[in-house]
Amino acid sequence: MTSPRIQESFVVLEKIVKAVGLSPDGAEPIRLAENDLWRLPGRIVVRIARQGQSTAAAREVQVTRWLAQNGVPAVRPLDRDQPVTVDGRTATFWEELPPHRAGDESDLAPLLRRLHELPSPPFTLGEIAPFVRIADRIGGAQAIDQGDQAWLLHRLEELQAAWTELPSGLRRCVIHGDAWGGNAAVTSDGVFLMDFERTAVGPPEWDLTSTAVAADTFGKISRSAYKKFCEAYGHDVMEWVGYPILRDIRELRLTSFALQAANDDPIVLGQAKYRIACVRGFAGPRPWGWKAVG
């Protein structure tokens, strides 16, 4: 039986593909999350963004066309006018990758280095926005007490101030914005970058901190694996004096995401409360062994 979530998304898909002269026949859901991904016959992937994300969708198309011109392996948009918006929902159309698996830090590092070495693009990109939705997630958390909520909001203010005073580091450049192994797809033809929803201009250390946190906070990757990542990229962000600020921002983002997930899934609540205890200093030193949510 088709779930209500799939049915709801298919209705949106049907309107969008018909508007551009395609057929929804044979469509298959790939992943329905913050963005809905559908596969159409002919190796076409349709990505349906959340409400209000038309600007981000247009930016993804623009960025990936620029990457293609510069020879950076990444997902490729179809050669057609896009994005397309129907009834307030914006969609983009992509070439389907060959069979692939999610990458890891060793797959990601060379791609990040190539991205960060590119000259400025011939179009305007916004600045990276590391605090997007954190306040809303904390304020909307339904199962934490007022003391934790107040502390998290105060910590957010401290980190917002610290971000404006980051010490100098690597050359600012175009950054991916959500640089973790799962956004590198490993195929028989090579490794490809995916998901450019948060691509912007900013410190490249922001991208590198994702992998550092996987080792430093989650304990998900070994120190030897992290060292190989640094060697492949050519820089260890943990040695930078500004790293603790970026790490703490990442940890607060991840805590707020767990709080949001706990609103919909009570099973996640334990992990959300554990993360609060960690960032408040009640759970000992890192790594804290955080578990993935969502």
* Start and end residues for every CATH 3.90.1200.10 domain found in the chain: 105-279
pLDDT of residue 264: 86
Which residues, other chains included, contact 186 with Cβ-Cβ below 8 Å and sequence gap of 6+? 100, 101, 102, 103, 107
The mean predicted confidence, pLDDT, of the chain is 95
> Which one is the CATH code of 4-96: 3.30.460.10, 3.30.479.10, 3.30.200.20, 3.30.1490.20?
3.30.200.20
pLDDT of residue 52: 87
Kindly report the pTM of this predicted structure: 0.92
Measured CA to CA, the distance from residue 150 to residue 143 in angstroms comes to: 14
Question: In the structure, what pLDDT confidence band is assigned to residue 229 with cuts at 50, 70 and 90?
Answer: very high
In degrees and rounded to multiples of 5, residue 260 shows phi and psi of -65, -45
* Start and end residues for every CATH 3.30.200.20 domain found in the chain: 4-96
Asked whether residue 236 carries a pLDDT value surpassing 60, the answer given is yes
Summarised one tens digit per residue, pLDDT across range 5-40 is: 899 999 999 999 999 999 999 999 999 988 999 999
Summarised one tens digit per residue, pLDDT across range 169-179 is: 999 999 999 99
pLDDT, average across residues 191-204: 95
Other beta carbons within 10 Å of 187:
14
Per cent of the chain over pLDDT 70 is 99
Asked whether residue 1 carries a pLDDT value surpassing 60, the answer given is no
Q: What separation in angstroms does the CA of 196 have from each of 111, 139, 176, 237?
A: 13, 27, 6, 22
Q: Domain 105-279 belongs to what topology? A: Aminoglycoside 3'-phosphotransferase; Chain: A, domain 2 (3.90.1200)
Is 12 within 8 Å of 29 (Cβ atoms)?
Answer: no
List own/partner pairs for 224-229 with CB under 8 A and 24 or more apart: 225/104, 225/105, 225/106, 226/105, 228/105, 228/106, 229/105, 229/106, 229/108, 229/109
Helices (H), 33-171: 54-69, 105-117, 134-139, 146-163
Per cent of the chain over pLDDT 90 is 91
pLDDT, average across residues 115-130: 95
Closest CA to 109 of 187, 193, 220, 16: 193
Measured CA to CA, the distance from residue 181 to residue 202 in angstroms comes to: 20
Is 201 within 8 Å of 126 (Cβ atoms)?
Answer: yes
Is 75 within 8 Å of 44 (Cβ atoms)?
Answer: no
